A and B are shown apart, each in its own frame.
Chain A
Amino acid sequence: MPISSIRKQGFTLIEVLLSIVIAVIIFAALSKGMIGGGFLLKQVENKSRACGVGAAKMEEYLAKSYSSPDLEDGNYTGDPVDYGSKPVFDWTVNVEKKWMGDDASTVDQEGIPYKLISVTAAYDETDYNKISHRKNIRFVNMVPYPYIHTNIKTSTTSVSVPYNSYTELIEIPVSYEVDKDLMIIYNIAIKVNDATDLKATDTIFTKCFVDSEEENIETRTPIITQPLISNVVGVNNVSKGEHTVYVKWYKDVNSGSISLKEINVIVVAFEHKQS
Chain B
Amino acid sequence: MRMKKDNKAFTLMELIIGIILVSSIMMVVGVAFIFFKKQIDIYAERQHIYSQIAYALEDMKLRMISATGVDGDSAFEPPASSGEEQVKNEFYFRGQSDIYNVTPDDLTDDIWYRYAIDSSTNDLVLYTYNADKELQKQEVMVEGKYKPELEFSYKKGYEPNFFVVTLTVPSGQAKLIDIQGDIKKMEGLRIWFVDIVKK
Contacts and interface: CB of A to CB of B under 8 A. Distances in A.
A23 B50 CA distance: 36
B43 A41 contact: yes
B188 A58 contact: yes
Interface string A39-71: 001100110110011011111101110000010
A84 B181 contact: yes
B190 A62 contact: yes
Chain A facing B: main interface SS: helix
Interface stretch (A27-35, A181-189, A263-271): A27-35
B197 to A, nearest CB: 12
Interface stretch (B1-9, B72-80, B105-113, B121-129): B1-9
A239 B170 CA distance: 59
Indicate the size class of the contact surface on chain A.
35 or more
Indicate the size class of the contact surface on chain B.
35 or more
B193 interface: no
B13 interface: no
Interface in B28-55: 28-29, 32, 35-36, 39, 43, 46, 50
B158 A34 contact: no
A82 B25 CA distance: 45
B6 A60 contact: no
Given A16-B21, A49-B185, A63-B159, A38 B3 contact: no
Nearest to B165: A56
Contacts of B21: 16, 20
Contacts of A131: none
Interface stretch (B86-94, B140-148, B172-180): B172-180
Contact of A38 (B1, B29, B177, B187): B177
Given A5-B6, A34-B36, A41-B43, A48 B181 contact: no
A56 to B, nearest CB: 4
A56 B187 CA distance: 5
A7 interface: yes
A166 B103 CA distance: 46
B180 A42 contact: yes
Contact of A56 (B8, B36, B177, B188): B188
A45 B162 contact: no
Interface string A1-16: 1011111100000001
B137 to A, nearest CB: 29
B164 interface: yes
Nearest to A83: B184
A64 B188 contact: no
Interface in B122-170: 157-159, 161-162, 164
Interface string B58-90: 000000000000000000000000000000000
B194 interface: no
A30 B184 contact: no
Given A3-B2, A4-B3, A34 B180 contact: no
A3 B4 contact: yes
B184 A49 contact: yes
B2 A38 contact: no
A109 to B, nearest CB: 27
A53 B25 CA distance: 47
A241 interface: no
Given A7-B6, A83-B184, A38 B178 contact: yes
A243 to B, nearest CB: 29
B102 interface: no
A52 B1 CA distance: 85
B189 interface: yes
A31 to B, nearest CB: 7
B39 A56 contact: no
Given A7-B6, A60-B158, 6 more contacts: A1-B3, A20-B21, A34-B39, A37-B39, A70-B157, A84-B184
A-B pairs, 7 with minimum CB distance: A59-B188, A56-B188, A63-B162, A63-B159, A38-B177, A52-B186, A83-B184
